[in-house]
Amino acid sequence: MSNTTDFFEVLYRNFNDRKIEQVIPNMTENVKWANGMEGGFVYGREEVRTYWTKQFKQVNSRVKPLKIETDKDIVKIKVHQVVRDLNGNLLSDSIVDHIFHMEGEQVAEFDIANIE
């Protein structure tokens, strides 16, 4: 990946701005994506789109990358994650690790770790 930091900063900015149609093409067709709300995973671009659409109707989550580390095709990003209900009430404020497995220039798998 040519510039990992720029790639993920744009990805997170588009997610925070709810521009999911600009995020999803950066995933493989059969991406494995962590379901942070219900547990487990969703599989494929369409399931990620459905998951995010449902999530955005229930909560307002914002993630800010703090530190990006790469090791071959794995990218680990420490993020500050703030989740509020749709009335603005704070549900969680935490630092977590987002782990991305890349296939070339696309995300093949996403997981969440070290939830504080």
pLDDT of residue 115: 64
pLDDT, tens digit (0-9, with 9 covering 90-100), for 36-81:
889 999 999 999 999 999 999 999 999 999 999 999 899 999 999 9
pLDDT of residue 114: 79
Range 4-12 average pLDDT = 95
Name the pTM for this structure.
Answer: 0.92
Q: In what order do the strands lie in the sheet with 27-34?
A: 41-43, 27-34, 106-113, 90-103, 74-85, 59-71
pLDDT, tens digit (0-9, with 9 covering 90-100), for 75-115:
999 999 999 999 999 999 999 999 999 999 999 999 999 76
DSSP assignment of the chain equals: ---HHHHHHHHHHHHHTT-HHHHGGGEEEEEEEE-TTTSSEEESHHHHHHHHHHHHHHEEEEEEEEEEEEETTEEEEEEEEEEEETTS-EEEEEEEEEEEEEETTEEEEEEEE---
pLDDT of residue 91: 96
Name the band, by pLDDT with cuts 50, 70 and 90, for residue 1: very low
Range 11-23 average pLDDT = 97
pLDDT of residue 2: 53
Q: Which domains does the chain have, with CATH numbers?
A: 4-113 (3.10.450.50)
Distances in whole angstroms, Cα of residue 16 to Cα of each of 11, 59, 61, 73, 84 = 9, 12, 7, 24, 13
Would you state the structure tokens that stand for residue 115, as one six-digit string?
């939830």
